[in-house]
Amino acid sequence: MKSVLSFLFTILGILSATAQNYPSRSNVLWVTEPDHSNWLYELGEEAKVTVSLYEFGMPVANAKVHYTVGPEMLDPDTAGFIDIKNGKGTVSLGTSNEPGFRDCWLTVTLHGQTYKHHVKVGFEPEKLQPYTNFPDDFEAFWSQAKREAAQTPMEVEKVFVPEYSSNKVNCYLVKLQAYQKGQQVYGYLTVPKKTGKFPVVFAPPGAGIKPMNPLKHIFYAESDVIRFDMEIHGIRPDLDGTTYKEISKAFGNGNNSYLVNGLDDRDSYYMKKVCLSCVRALDFLTTLPAWDGKNLIAQGGSQGGALALITAGLDDRVTACAANHPALSDMAGYKAGRAGGYPHLFKNFDGMDTPEKLKTLEYYDVVNFAKLIDVPVFMTWGYNDNTCPPTTSYIVYNSLDTEKEAYITPINEHWVSEKTRRVILDWIKSTLK
């Protein structure tokens, strides 16, 4: 396993009544320092964390901090108090006899205001394996689905978007017919303005139903890489935020979520259209006159990381894949008594634990697509992520049987830094043929 370990031991802040490790505008700062510099321990080994607490930049002289500790995403098995003296205290996270992570939640009240923080450590996570089964007909199912979807004509509408264009980049809003006639997806295509042939990056979206803005990754096109940021619902990405909120309320939350729509059957599940629309996006991107004809990279984060890996497993036109903390990964892992992947169907939804739903999930779980990937893969994730927990990122990484590289930033929750975004692009460029 080739790993690039980037440990960010910067003083962290916490906003009142939140548990974000990198907040802003807080008077209180936490630093949690595991006694192993890589945040990893052997099975049966005790993990200890030094807790430092600051207010207005100065160590808190005396405070009582409440803590709970347990397996990540599950109920705590230990609770108690530690005394902070001159800004410091120590808490034991115990140990684990099974590969995985333990999470410690810290709470303190200062001047009537409550502040929270959490930190995770891992126990031999390189040994984690998926709970999710690989169906005997997995490849046959998807081969047939791709053949059927390919019968739908590819109709393309492309409109120049001046507000996202510049003297270096042309931006277009693209509408693609995909999956079945009359169904479409949209996306922003950003292309270097200079003459030449360029690699293409296909970038599916994170979870939710929300507007899109290509400026976040405009540096790809500024760096001579064509990029296509796609939405998956067939809703124009340039609608106003209020309209998107109304749409999201209709089929984006709870048991109305698109992520559980049709889950009783593998052919009616909403995500079938999504996966096949990703293949249709590649159909379009490989027709671009400015494509170099060689390099087609799938890249995304969270749900987008999942769909990047899924697309790399589905389509051998993909030449490399970069995924941040992928969602939809070993989703049934809760059945094994440990954290499962986003959207945490067995934790946050009602009525999910049925044989029919479990069977459908096998055909859409990232761990099974990962087993089909034979191109270079770059993955990055953080340990403090409770949206896409590190257990499931490790399981995906451990399932890959191809050239792979991990860039692990332990302190991260469900975000990546601007530095990491640039590291991803640098890796993509390193794979170009």
Question: Burial, 401: exposed, middle or buried (Cβ in 10 Å; 0-12, 13-18, 19+)?
Answer: exposed
State the angle between helix axes of 138-150 and 270-285 in degrees (0 to 180), rounded to the nearest 10: 60
Nearest to 264 by CA among 347, 178, 337, 364: 364
Task: Yes or no: say if 266 and 283 are a contact pair by the CB < 8 Å rule.
Answer: no
Question: Hunting for tokens 């930190």 — which residue is that?
Answer: 119
Q: Which H, E and C letters describe 160-199, residue by residue? A: ECHHHCCCCEEEEEEEEECCCCCCEEEEEEEEECCCCCEE
Q: What is the three-class DSSP state of 120?
A: strand
Q: Partners of 226 in the beta sheet? A: 200
Active site residue 16: no
Type and span of the H or E element at 243: helix 241-251
- Of 96, 257, 302, 393, catalytic: 302
Strand pairing report for 226-230 and 320-324: unpaired
Residue type, 326: P
Does 302 qualify as catalytic in the annotation?
A: yes
Note if 36 is an active site residue: no
Is 124 within 8 Å of 96 (Cβ atoms)?
no
Work out the number of other CB atoms within 10 angstroms of the CB of residue 152: 16
Q: Which of 96, 277, 385, 399 is catalytic?
A: 385
Report how far apart, in Å, the C-alpha atoms of 6 and of each of 119, 231, 285 are.
Answer: 16, 31, 33
d(CA 303, CA 241): 20
Strands 226-230 and 184-192: antiparallel
β-bridge mates for residue 16, sequence order: 115
Report which residue type is found at 234: G
Q: Tell me 58's DSSP state.
A: E
**Residue 64 has which token pair?**
């009582």
Are 127 and 99 within 8 A, CB to CB? Answer: yes
CA distance 2 to 11: 28
What is the distance between the alpha carbons of residues 108 and 28, in angstroms, rounded to a whole number? 10
Angle at 18 between CA 210 and CA 78, to 5 degrees: 125
Q: What are the catalytic residues?
A: 302, 385, 414
